[in-house]
Amino acid sequence: MERARDSRAKAKSGTWNIDLTFNGIVYIIHIHMNEPNFFSITGFDWNSGNLDKNLEKHGVSSWECEEVFFNAPFFTYSDDRHSSGEKRYYVLGETNAQRRLFIVFTIRRSLIRVISARDMSTRERKTYENLKEKTEF
């Protein structure tokens, strides 16, 4: 994932518009976030420890997890309650097929490392829909 040359990012009360180039395609991403800084992210950290874990536990593939970070809007929050050793975050977002996912992740060496991914609960879906209605994108 690399930022496009003519990237335009504007901070407006925690909301960012980012142009990214990925595999030759320019994506304009609208992000509402409390943290982290997505400008420093260069990709995803997958290995044998986390590649198929969410597929086996929750039926969520690694590529679906990645799609959430490329589909507007998605909403990220700091997961202070579970951040003992390293800073953790969670994201509410959708895949290309509009599957609504709740993903817990951390950032290691400028890579997103997914810790857990599952379908949103009823309450999380309501929160997501309310945030989505209030967001211009």
Looking at the chain, the whole-number percentage of residues with pLDDT higher than 90 is 49
Domain ranges for the chain: 37-134
Q: pLDDT averaged over the chain? A: 80
Q: What angle do CA 113, 64, 73 make, to 5 degrees?
A: 85
d(CA 42, CA 20): 11
pLDDT tens track for 18-49:
555 556 666 555 555 455 677 888 999 998 88
Token pair of 65 as six digits: 């997890």
CA dihedral 30→15→100→92, nearest 10 degrees, is 140
pTM: 0.72
The residue written with tokens 């990645």 in the block is 66
How many whole angstroms separate alpha carbon 137 and alpha carbon 57? 33
Mean pLDDT of 10-21: 48
